[in-house]
Amino acid sequence: MEKLLNKLLNYPWVSMAVIVAITTAFFFLMKENTKMETDLDKYMPHDHPAFVYSDQAEEWFNIRDGIIIAIENKEGIFNTATLDTLKQLTRRFQKFDEIDKNDVTSLYTADNIVGSEDGMDVRRFFKRIPRTNEKLKGLKRNVENNEMIFGRLVSSDETVTVIVAEIKDDVFTQEFYQEILEVAKASETDDIKIHVAGRPIVEGTMALLGPADMQMMVPIVLLVIFLVLLITLRSFKGTLITLGVVFFSTIWAFGLMAAVNIPIYAVSTMIPVMLIAIGVADGIHLYSHLHTFVDHNPSASRKEAVTDMLKQMWKPVVMTSVTTAVGFISLLTSQVYPVKYFGVFTAFGVMMAMVFSLVFLPAGIMIFGLPKAKKVDMKENKGGHSNSKIANSFAAWIIKNKYVSILGTVLIIVLSVFGLQEMWINSSFLDKFESDSEIVMTDKFINEHFGGTSSLNLILDANGKKDTFKEPEVLKLVDKMQKDVDGQLKVVGNAFSLTDYINRMNKVMNEDDEAFSTIPDSKDMVAQYLLLYEMSGDPENLNKVVDYDYEKLNVTFQLKSDNSKAINSVLDVIHTYEGRFKKLGISMNYAGSGYKGLVFTDLILEGQIMSLLLSLIIIIVLISIMFKNIIIGLISSVPIIVTALISFGIMGFLGIPLSSTTALLSSIAIGIGIDYAVHFLEQYRLNAINTNDKLVAAQKTMAHSGKAIIFNAIVVIAGFLVLIFSVFPPNRELGALVSLNMFTSFAGTLTIMLVLLNVTNIYFKKSK
């Protein structure tokens, strides 16, 4: 390896030209083939049993995510202008190619089940817009008397009505998203306001904001890191060369994504920030060594200086890159696609940054020259490292007060464990946005007036027994469960199933007597009602709540929140009915985007634990092999274990949930934090062999690698702190937490790890 790198020094222009040429090809490939994934269902593994069943149930009952268009008139909706807007918007959405005509529901298309002289009739609320006060009052009365519509399609204060348009699978595009917003906006007047919400709108907004956020973040990160590098490296040329390394590695990572047709997910937008922050690490350590060599050998030639740099530093650069890549590769254990791909392509970017650090950076130095040498007073600090009083004093203090580090570390671990117990997982996609953003405020507005913009589908299955869901005993139990869930939990706006149809039909068949808004005791009566409805109304409406043989039933719960706490609270109440349904031969299953989101978060937690354990084990083994000592491997893991505990502990104390974004935290902490340990260990080993004095070895290591680690941490912290300007709150939380991780990692490396090296007497077994 060293010989190959030295040979390349003879052809610096060739090395640079090849790298630039391939990077250019990757850039154009990235520009042409890069695409943003907007369908949140594509984030999930479709071979998972929960998703397989949910997909089947969605086909049985035509369960689809809906766009919710709320039409608001503060003076009331029962007027000609508002009803005309409702009708025109309904018909406009029915004409979209992405939406089936029958999948658009509003007051204009809804059925009104009423009693008649012949028994029961099912008719539209209106076809032509009512023009007279009498007709408007009649419509208002009909709506208020229909509990299936009032509070569901028309708000209880009668100032808002909604259109629900369910879209086809795999048809949502940015063009469709923009057209929806334009159509809605065009219908607004001084009195009528239009609000658009629903899961597809969340997806579309994320798809718009994600790339825009990345375009804003990357230049700021580059500017911040450029300034910090300029200060730490003391070289304009060195700063540009180091930034070249991270720029090329980022282009290669996204170019490879485009080449293998992997889309950009929301979390993928952080890869550039990650690679920029990580990629400078090798450059800082290489330049730190180069500065030391040039300071002590001012007359050395470019090749002599670069050859020495590569000779001394190629091993730790390779070791740190491999261990960092392992931290990210461990994310392959996750079943969540965005997390998995984030790990793979970030690891690839890290390895390419290693190659560029060992090829492009030396070539740049050979072409553009060495940094200026500083005068070194060789008479000072003879016991430690020349020209580094602070490092020598700090190392001596840490070793003298070793128990402060040990007790401090133990105390931090105990506090972090307490914080860990408060952690929770958040499945909400809306929580990725600002609380005062338009999409969140719209969602809040609709939740205040209706059942909720999120849903959970309970599928009751009689396991092949036909007509089970015509049995009064079964239907009464379903009805009781719906009312219990709706009544006990504020987060549940309403529940809807076949029982709502039967309750309504029983009521209208008994002169609209509210006392008869129940399930009749006779199975024949239930069957008769259903037959009457099929003859009078649209039988396809029943397909959304029950299958043809009445052996599967779909109960839809509308929720006012899409986070895991809300969904779990509903499941807790539903599960209390599991035993009673089981006695009737009925099993419970779940479907829909709400439930899939909950399973999604469980997979995030499972993947988080697996990747954390796997990466720790692999890194301990790798470092043990690299340094030929298992004790060294264990010592190297201490700073990153403590860092991970602190990070999750603080998340628990501050109420920051684990999400698809913050789930990356441990791998980032391990991947970046292990760099510090490896560089420090390698330098400590070399100094221990050369000096055979524990204090001097510690002081020289602190002055060499310790200084570079501090510079590295400053750059990385500065880079990640830029994420606090992200439009996504989880990204801001991640930026702050990773910055904290970098601080605790470097602090742990320079304190507790140094103490452990000193106490265990590693490399000094033969010393007196």
pLDDT single digits (tens) 10-20: 888 999 999 99
Q: Per-residue pLDDT for 461 more than 90?
A: yes
Model pLDDT, residue 38: 64
Q: Classify 493 as helix, strand or coil.
A: strand
Model pLDDT, residue 384: 46
Rg (CA), the chain: 33
Q: Classify 113 as helix, strand or coil.
A: strand
The torsion defined by the Cα of 200, 201, 206 and 211, in degrees rounded to 10, comes to 100
**For the chain, how many helices (H) and strands (E)?**
26, 10
Q: Domain ranges in the chain?
A: 2-41+204-372+389-421+598-760, 64-203, 439-596
Q: For residues 563 and 321, give the distance between their C-alpha atoms in angstroms, rounded to a whole number.
A: 37
Model pLDDT, residue 386: 47
Task: State how far the alpha carbon of 642 is from the alpha carbons of 409, 638, 666, 757, in Å.
Answer: 8, 6, 11, 16
What is the biggest distance separating any 2 CA atoms in the chain, rounded to whole angstroms?
Answer: 112
| Alpha helix positions (H), 330-458 | 337-368, 389-400, 402-420, 438-449
Q: For residues 118 and 47, give the distance between their C-alpha atoms in angstroms, rounded to a whole number.
A: 51
Which among 112, 57, 108 is positioned nearest to 543, based on CA atoms? 57
Distance of CA 573 to the CA centre of its chain: 28
* Amino acid in position 122: V
Average pLDDT, integer, range 383-392: 64
Question: Which comes out higher in pLDDT, residue 450 or 327?
Answer: 450
Average pLDDT, integer, range 108-137: 88
Show Cβ contacts of residue 382 under 8 Å, excluding neighbours closer than 6 positions. Answer: none
Q: For residues 278 and 732, give the distance between their C-alpha atoms in angstroms, rounded to a whole number.
A: 18
Q: Are strands 66-73 and 119-124 parallel, antiparallel or unpaired?
A: unpaired
- Name the most confidently modeled range: 114-123, 179-188, 472-481, 735-744: 472-481
b (16+ CB within 10 A) / e for 591-621: bbbbbbbbbbbebbeebbebbbebbbebbbe
Count of residues making up the chain? 768
Task: State how far the alpha carbon of 399 is from the alpha carbons of 441, 711, 749, in Å.
Answer: 56, 22, 13
Q: Classify 112 as helix, strand or coil.
A: strand
Which among 750, 749, 736 is positioned nearest to 647, based on CA atoms? 736
- pTM for the model stands at 0.79
pLDDT for 406-447, tens place per residue? Answer: 999 999 999 999 998 887 777 677 777 888 888 888 888 988
Q: For residues 76 and 86, give the distance between their C-alpha atoms in angstroms, rounded to a whole number.
A: 13
Q: Per-residue pLDDT for 483 more than 90?
A: yes
Model pLDDT, residue 389: 81
Model pLDDT, residue 375: 61
Q: How confident is the model at residue 385 (pLDDT cuts 50, 70, 90)?
A: very low
Task: Name residue 162's beta-bridge partners.
Answer: 70
Model pLDDT, residue 762: 84
Show Cβ contacts of residue 83 under 8 Å, excluding neighbours closer than 6 positions. Answer: 77, 107, 108, 126, 129, 130, 139
Which among 450, 399, 544, 562 is positioned nearest to 61, based on CA atoms? 544
Model pLDDT, residue 766: 52
Average pLDDT, integer, range 461-485: 94
| CATH T-level fold of 2-41+204-372+389-421+598-760 | Multidrug efflux transporter AcrB transmembrane fold (1.20.1640)
Asked if 317 contacts 225 with a C-beta cutoff of 8 angstroms, the reply is: no
Above pLDDT 90, what percent of the chain?
36
Asked if 371 contacts 287 with a C-beta cutoff of 8 angstroms, the reply is: yes
pLDDT for 337-356, tens place per residue? Answer: 888 888 899 999 999 999 99
Scan for tokens 């079964």, then name that residue: 474
Q: For residues 731 and 713, give the distance between their C-alpha atoms in angstroms, rounded to a whole number.
A: 19
